[in-house]
Structure 1
Amino acid sequence: MSVKASVSITDQQDEYARQLVAEGQYASLSAVVQRGLELVRTEEERERAELAALQAFFAERAEGPFVTADEGRRRTEDMIAAKSRAHGL
C-alpha cells in the first residue's frame, strides 16, 4: 500500500535527487525518498542494536569481579605474551 505525503526538501536535495533519477539510479523522486527513509530506518536499527550490546556488556562487567588497573595491565601483558609465544614471536 502506498501513502501520499508532502515533504519539503532543500534546493540542493531536490537537485541531487533529480540528478539520481536522470542518471537512472532511481525510477522517480519518490523512489529516492523511499530509499533515504529505508537507510535512516536501518541506521537507527543498527544504532539501537549497538547500544543494546554495549548496555549488556557494561551490565555484565558491572556484575563481574572488580579488577584493579594494575591487575588489568598485568592480565593484558600476560595475554599479549601468550599470543606472541603462540605465534613464535
Structure 2
Amino acid sequence: MSVKSSISLTEQQDAFARSLVDTGRYSSLSSVIQQGLELLRQKTETESAETEALRELIHRRLSGASMSEEAMAGAVDDMIARKQRALRVES
C-alpha cells in the first residue's frame, strides 16, 4: 500500500536524487526516497540493537566478579611483558 506525502528537499538533495534517476540507478524520485528511508530504518534498528547489547554487556560486567587493583596491575604487567617478548622489545 502506498501513501502519498509531500516533502521538501534542498536543491542539492533534489539534484542528487534526480541524478540517480537520470543515470538509471532508480526508476523514480519516489524510489530514491524509499531506499533512503529503508537505509535509515535499518541503521536505526542496528544502532538500537548495538546499544541494547552494550547495556547488557555493561550490566553483566558490573554484576560479575571483579579483580582487585593489585591483581589487575599484575595482569596488565604480565600482558605487557608477553607483548614485549613477542615483539622482541627491550624494557
TM-score, length-scaled by structure 2 = 0.79
Corresponding residue for 1:27? 27
Corresponding residue for 2:12? 12
Q: CA deviation at 1:73?
A: 4.5
- String of CA shifts for 1:21-57, please: whole Å, max 9, x gaps: 0000000000000000001000000000000000000
Task: Please give the alpha-carbon distance, in whole angstroms, between the structure 2 residues aligned to 1:73 and 1:24.
Answer: 60
Q: CA deviation at 1:65?
A: 1.5
Corresponding residue for 2:74? 74
| Runs of 4+ more than 6 Å apart | none
Aligned-CA RMSD value: 2.1
Corresponding residue for 2:63? 63
Corresponding residue for 1:40? 40
Task: Please give the alpha-carbon distance, in whole angstroms, between the structure 2 residues aligned to 1:29 and 1:46.
Answer: 26
Task: Please give the alpha-carbon distance, in whole angstroms, between the structure 2 residues aligned to 1:73 and 1:12.
Answer: 55
Q: Give 5+ residue unaligned stretches, structure 2.
A: 87-91
Tell me whether 33-42 or 68-77 shows the greater mean CA deviation. Answer: 68-77
Tell me whether 66-75 or 19-28 shows the greater mean CA deviation. Answer: 66-75
Q: CA deviation at 1:71?
A: 2.5
Q: Percent identity?
A: 41
Aligned residues: 83
